[in-house]
Structure 1
Amino acid sequence: MNSRGHIMEKAHPFEGILPNLERRYRETDSQSMREELARNLSTQPCKDCAAPATAQRPHVFIEERNLPR
């Protein structure tokens, strides 16, 4: 709801989790937000599959569990 009590709806395509985190990191002016988002970034190669961190299909972890590709 906006300040007048009207419900606002917006529709936009889902950009994806990783693109969203990368965009928010690039666009923020807040140092504390950058630090928070940086905890999700890695430049280390994957120890499970030996893929470089910049691989096209990075692993996604939630609570230390790797999501399937």
Structure 2
Amino acid sequence: MADSRGETDGTADVFTAEEARKRWAELIGRAQHAQRHSTITRSGKRAAIVVDPDWYDRAEIALAKLAADDA
């Protein structure tokens, strides 16, 4: 996970944008087959996170429920 400054605590795979470009197929494989999230950084700050589709779907559902509860 990352703190408010975008720094990670070591629990996620972290790649610079340049590394991610070179290892894109590996990042997709980590998400798809190993359900590992990969954080991509640019200038030392989080720029994107690659997650598996099932995790993303669950997150969308959870956020929709939260929004409905707030309405």
On whether the aligned pair clears a TM of 0.5, the verdict is no
Q: Which has the higher strand share?
A: 2
Q: Which has the higher helix share?
A: 2
Which TM-score tier does this pair reach, normalised by the shorter chain? Answer: under 0.3
Q: Under a length normalisation based on structure 2, what TM-score does the superposition of the two structures give?
A: 0.24
Larger Rg: 1
